[in-house]
Structure 1
């Protein structure tokens, strides 16, 4: 059966995407018109098959190859081969190493205290002059609003820098100058690395910084080995785990660099959209605050073990990422002919086809999400989750190429929300329209300004 979709255009589909207001909106329109499986023109690829039906998506989840053309923008960051498109045989073992660190409790607990300090530092800056009881630095109390994306993505970059470059041989010993790393990443992310000297110098600085940290780790481990103190099996330290693989220095550096890049916006964007939704649903925000008061008491921040008690906060965060998935797309490339069984028929797709995953369209599929545009955290109550396909909610991707850092990102986001919502109320700025656009992540076009006030002020 022929896969439905729009007529082919001479411009490769660029005009249709532009007319819709962006690829994310175009995908919503396509799937609303043609169903859960759609054939369309994807610039840079040619013709792709887009899947928003969770049951069909599950049939493709085992694919372990990505279309190289869609990830070529990362090539300047990787000297040992683009990590996003390395072959399945090489990718599988490397993924297992990363999961042992990113998904493990020892890693989260080891860095949790530093994460708390970073979030509380932002809260203190927002609070400003605590002695006068007002919200300082010109924000809150009805004055200049906070720009959520600006501040929270900067926070998330500091958190991943602390995670990937910190520790005894990192920021604490002067090997890493955190502020310079943050500034360099902003340059690399916002400018053309191939032609811009400033971006090239920033990239050189980041590589040199990572090399220094790796060398410091190697020196420490050499000293420990001579003293008979090897940390065998330690999977709480990213660079230690990478060094233990005995792979090339370039591959280790590339992995740290891409980790920092991938994590730069994810947490900050997820928290920003969550606060945006809570500002428009104050009754939900009050319920979150009540849960925080019950679990934390007079404490300003949770311990690591408290996160599992913040069940409603977890539901709110997940519903926010359903409505605004930080990474709006995924893609795979079939390595063999496949047959997909959709609701409207059976479709044959040949080897070499780009299978496109529009996560926003998956999350807005009305067959799996009644009234999908509504903000309903109770969708993630345990009984509701058990009754739904697990592929109906895929904010971190699917299968063997899903995000290895999903567990870490959730810890960071839950912690950040807990600290900020224990301390502040958030109110949207009247007259400001928040418009989602796709960038490296699902961004808000003109940021998300919010009026921030201490919860003690009513």
Structure 2
């Protein structure tokens, strides 16, 4: 049975993607038009098969291979092989090691104080600027997330001569390398970042540190070679700061448009924290409504709106045959907007994430961090950072949409906003 989809175009599908406003919106149109399994032209990968039904998607969740061509743009950031396309036998132990650190409570607790201090620093700056007009939240929050992941990945107890220099260098690398236009400034910045990470690695080795809650320490103890350690730290910084920063800003955007939900978050923070301005690590588990709000935000605006795998064997999905070697496209946003599993999917309803509602849905109906053996190793850490930052900000402030400012999602490595998310920030009086 032939998989439905649009007719092939001579331009490889690029024109259709552009006409739809980007691949993030093209996926939504494809599945509205053709159903849960769609064949389409994916620029850079030839013909791909997209699956937006979570039950059918489970049949592909075991795949542990990414299409190399689609991730080739990350090769300049890696010297020991592109970490995003490692073969399964090499990827599995590397992933297991990362999960032992990134998903572990000892690691989260160790860095929680640093994260709290950085979030409080941002809150203090917002308080000083309260009368200065709308704040560009995505700019502020991605900068905060980058500072957090720098502290995490490079080790907060290691003396960095100039942390802001590291952050600036990383922004240059992201902007120029990922745009495919690296110049001398980008090459110099990349060299500076690698030298910084090498210095931190050397400090760990000389100190004989073997703390498994520390990313570099765990990699050193596992015997990873310096180039692979450096690449891992760089890729962690890349993946973590953009996704977490935009997730926080989309959450504030939604709360600004739903004041009743914002009021419930504020009431929960007051009940759990009392007079304290910031939570401790244990408090996050008690902020159940905030957790639902963040998850509903990432359903509506998944930071990474799609992913891709390469079928390693012939598959049958929903009665359709998918040959080995086919690019399997994971349209996370379309999965999250599937009305069969999310009634009135465009509405903001945090109550979708009560334990009862979650138990009634297929596991893969909600996949903001991906699915299967290539899903995001830092999902737990990202949720800690996001909920901590939101708790610090929402305990002190209310966020209101800037009048006349239109927020339009666009595709820029993550689900960004075309002209940022500009909001007025006012101190809470109650």
Consecutive unaligned residues of structure 2, counting only runs of 5 or more, are none
Deviations 1:176-220 (A, max 9, x none): 521001100110111147640000000000000000000000010
Unaligned 5+ residue runs, structure 1?
129-135, 225-230
Question: Which residue of structure 2 lines up, in the alignment, with residue 131 of structure 1?
Answer: none
Q: TM-score with structure 2 length normalisation?
A: 0.98
Which SS does the other structure have where 2:416 is aligned? Answer: strand
How far apart, CA to CA, are the structure 1 residues paired with 2:163 and 2:308?
Answer: 33
Q: For residue 228 of structure 1, what is the aligned residue in structure 2?
A: none
Q: Check conservation: 2:142, 2:242, Cα contact below 8 A.
A: yes
Cα shift at 1:166: 2.1
The corresponding residue for 1:210 is: 197
For residue 402 of structure 1, report the CA deviation from its aligned partner. 0.1
How far apart, in 1, do the equivalents of 2:348 and 2:77 lie? 38
Indicate yes or no: 2:131 matched with 1:158. no
Q: Classify 1:104/1:176 alpha carbon distance in 2 versus 1 (closer, same or farther; 3 Å).
A: farther
Match of residue 248 from structure 1: 225
2:135 aligned with 1:146: yes
CA distance in 2, matches of 1:9, 1:256: 40
The partner residue of 1:267 within 244, 251, 255 is 244
Q: Give the Cα separation in 1 of the matches to 2:173 and 2:249.
A: 22
What displacement does 1:430 show? 1.2
Q: Is the 8 A contact 1:194 1:200 kept in 2?
A: no
Task: Tell me the SS of whatever aligns to 1:84.
Answer: helix
User: Is this contact kept in 1: 2:95–2:377, CA < 8 A?
Assistant: yes
Question: 1:177 & 1:401 partners in 2: Cα distance?
Answer: 34
1:282 is aligned to 259
Deviates more, 1:264-273 or 1:284-293: 264-273
CA contact (8 A) 2:114 2:156 kept: no
Instruction: Tell me how far apart the structure 2 counterparts of residues 273 and 167 of structure 1 sit (CA, whole Å).
Output: 28
CA contact (8 A) 1:166 1:176 kept: no
Q: Is the 8 A contact 1:277 1:320 kept in 2?
A: yes
1:134-185 CA distances to partner (integer Å, 9 max, x unpaired)? xx3xxx34x41110000000000000000001233x2xx2x35210011001
Secondary structure, aligned partner of 1:302: coil
Note the C-alpha offset of 1:24.
Answer: 1.1
Paired residue for 1:348? 321
Q: 2:168 aligns with which of 175, 183, 186?
A: 183
Superposed CA deviations along residues 361-393 of structure 1, whole A, max 9, x for unmatched, are: 000000000000000000000100000011000
Please state how far the C-alpha of 1:452 moved relative to its aligned partner. 0.1
Give the RMSD, CA atoms, in angstroms: 1.0
Number of the residue aligned with 1:399 = 372
Measured after TM superposition, the shift of residue 245 of structure 1 is: 1.4
SS in 2 for 1:204: helix
Distance in 1, matches of 2:27 and 2:355, equals 29
Q: How many residues align?
A: 428
Kindly indicate whether residue 395 of structure 2 is the aligned counterpart of residue 422 of structure 1: yes
List, as ranges, runs of 4+ consecutive aligned residues in structure 1 with deviation greater than 3 Å: 192-195
Q: TM-score under structure 1 normalisation?
A: 0.92
Per-residue deviation, residues 379-424 of structure 1 (Å, max 9, x unmatched): 0001000000110000000000000000000000000000000000
Which of the residues 207, 214, 238 maps onto 1:237? 214
Q: Is 1:28–1:361's contact at 8 Å kept on the other side of the alignment? A: yes
SS class of match (1:47): strand
Q: Is the 8 A contact 1:165 1:210 kept in 2?
A: yes
Q: Of the two, which has the highest radius of gyration? A: 1
